[in-house]
Chains A and B, each alone.
Chain A
Amino acid sequence: AIQLTQSPSSVSASLGDRITITCRSSQGIRDDLNWYQQKPGKAPKLLIYASSTLQGGVPSRFSGSGSGTDFTLTISNLQPEDFATYYCLQDFNYPHTFGQGTKLEIK
C-alpha cells in the first residue's frame, strides 16, 4: 500500500498567518492527491482535489500544489474557522490511504 507522510504533525499559528503542510508519498501518484479538513466530531470536508483544484465553496486562501511524490497545502491569512486537523489522501490506487494528519492550533 502507498504510504503518505504528512509534516508537521501539529503546528501553532496566529490569525492572519500563512502555513504550509507537506505530504510525501512512498511512490509516484501523479496528481491523485486530495486534502481534507476535519473539525472535532465532524466528518471530513473536501478542500482540494487533483492536488491543486479547489472544491466549490472553499475559500481561495486555501491552495495546493505538487505532483509525483511531493505535495503541499498552503493556507494564507488564517481565519478562526481554519483551526482544525488536515489530512491528505491518495486515490491513485487501492487501498486509498490517508496521511496521519496535521493539527492546526491557535498560538
Chain B
Amino acid sequence: DTGVSQDPRHKITKRGQNVTFRCDPISEHNRLYWYRQTLGQGPEFLTYFQNEAQLEKSRLLSDRFSAERPKGSFSTLEIQHTEQGDSAMYLCASSLIGSNQPQHFGDGTRLSIL
C-alpha cells in the first residue's frame, strides 16, 4: 500500500493560466474523489469517479474545471483560466467499493494564483 499520490505538491501560476493536477489512487481502489480545501475550512467535495465513470459533480465545479479518469486508474483535474479564488489545497482521496469504506487522502496540491 503506497498511499494516494498527488503531483505537484505546490503550483504557483498567474491568473488566467491553465493548470493540471494528477492523482494516483491506491491501486485496488475503485472510487476516487476530489475535494478543495481553503484556509481554515474543511475540505469540500468537488467530484467523484467510480472506475472511469464520473458519477457526480458539485456545483462548486464550474465550467472552468474538468476532471478525468480515463482508464479507471489515475485522475487529472484541470482548471482553465485560473482566478484568484481558485487558490486552495486540492485533495484527492480513494476508497474501496463498500458502504462504509474510509477514504484515504493524498498530501494535496496547493495552488497559489498570483
The yes or no verdict on A and B being binding partners is no
